[in-house]
């Protein structure tokens, strides 16, 4: 989304992305949450339309209800407000791997047309990369076993590439049949939320397709920020800007966050 468009609507690109991600969450879902925009989106959803959304953080907190945006997965507010605190192995072995979590958020350094994610290395070889990235963490299991996955990443040709340099987390592999062939029980990426719009997998090919743009953004802008020939849906939507209620709730959470302006 252009800065001018954001200013005209009195909201930022991050706020647009967060609101869009929050709207994808339904009341009563179990949600595997990361820090940053995913945490902001999940907590915004819980503060607005999904009060019974169950937040699960990798540190072992289930049903956390923070009054502000946690600074890390180890933030004490998560354990203090959780329905239960379990071990990290239990989160993965009991909750995630058997498919008990409805939706998981993931980020990406690189993303390709089939939703495969690279967070490992940039460059042609693993041993001597141009850049060594933070790595996998729990992302491969989230991608494999959550019932659905939402990816949040800013749009650029650097991040949206024809082919990822390393497959850290499988989206749809080389096409629709690959997930079943690999034994991945989750549905895979259902939405890719960027700072320009939303991509979703084509029902037949599973190739990511532009299905929605933000106010003031054109399909051509999104295609220009994509490293492959991005298909555009015939029913492309202009997605609603964040509502006054969404912005108020999100900014209240941010204001309460320690070390932020106007914090507790």
The residues annotated as belonging to the active site are: 58
Q: DSSP code of 91?
A: I
Please compute, for residue 221, the number of CA atoms within 13 A of its CA located in the half-sphere on the CB side. 16
The C-alpha atoms of residue 138 and residue 96 are separated, in whole angstroms, by: 10
Instruction: Using the Cα atoms of residue 187, residue 193, residue 194 and residue 197 in order, give the sign of their dihedral.
Output: positive
Q: Is the distance from CB of 208 to CB of 201 less than 8 angstroms?
A: yes
**3 state DSSP class of 98:** coil
Beta bridge partners of 122: 131
List, in order, residues 6 or more apart from 251 with CB less than 8 Å away.
Answer: none
Packing angle of the helix pair 13-23, 244-256 (nearest 10 deg): 110
Q: Is the distance from CB of 217 to CB of 240 less than 8 angstroms?
A: no
The C-alpha atoms of residue 22 and residue 14 are separated, in whole angstroms, by: 12
**b/e 196-217 (16+ beta carbons within 10 angstroms → b):** bbbbbbbeeebbbbbbbbbbbb
Count of helices and strands (H, E) across the chain? 9, 14
The C-alpha atoms of residue 40 and residue 45 are separated, in whole angstroms, by: 9
Query: How big is the chain by its Cα radius of gyration, in Å?
Result: 18
């Amino acid at each position: 989304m252009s800065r001018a468009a954001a200013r005209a609507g009195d909201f930022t690109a991050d706020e647009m992305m967060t609101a869009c991600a929050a709207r994808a969450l339904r009341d009563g879902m179990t949600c595997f949450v990361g820090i940053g925009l995913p945490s902001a989106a999940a907590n915004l959803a819980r503060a607005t339309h999904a009060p019974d959304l169950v937040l699960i953080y990798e540190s072992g907190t289930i049903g956390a209800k923070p009054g502000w945006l946690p600074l890390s997965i180890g933030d004490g507010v998560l354990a203090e407000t959780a329905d239960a605190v379990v071990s990290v192995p239990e989160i993965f072995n009991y909750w995630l791997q058997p498919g008990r979590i409805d939706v998981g958020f993931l980020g990406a350094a690189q993303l390709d047309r089939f939703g495969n994610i690279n967070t490992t290395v940039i460059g042609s070889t693993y041993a001597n990369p141009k850049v060594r990235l933070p790595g996998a963490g729990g992302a491969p299991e989230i991608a494999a076993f959550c019932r659905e996955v939402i990816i949040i990443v800013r749009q650029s040709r650097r991040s949206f590439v024809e082919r990822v340099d390393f497959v850290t987390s499988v989206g749809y592999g080389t096409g629709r049949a690959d997930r079943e062939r690999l034994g991945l029980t989750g549905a895979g990426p259902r939405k890719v939320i960027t700072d320009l719009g939303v991509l979703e997998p084509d029902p037949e090919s599973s190739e990511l397709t532009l299905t929605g743009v933000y106010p003031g953004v054109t399909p051509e802008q999104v295609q220009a920020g994509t490293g492959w020939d991005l298909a555009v849906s015939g029913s492309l939507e202009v997605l609603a800007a964040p509502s006054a209620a969404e912005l108020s709730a999100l900014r209240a959470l941010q204001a309460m966050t320690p070390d932020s302006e106007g914090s507790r």
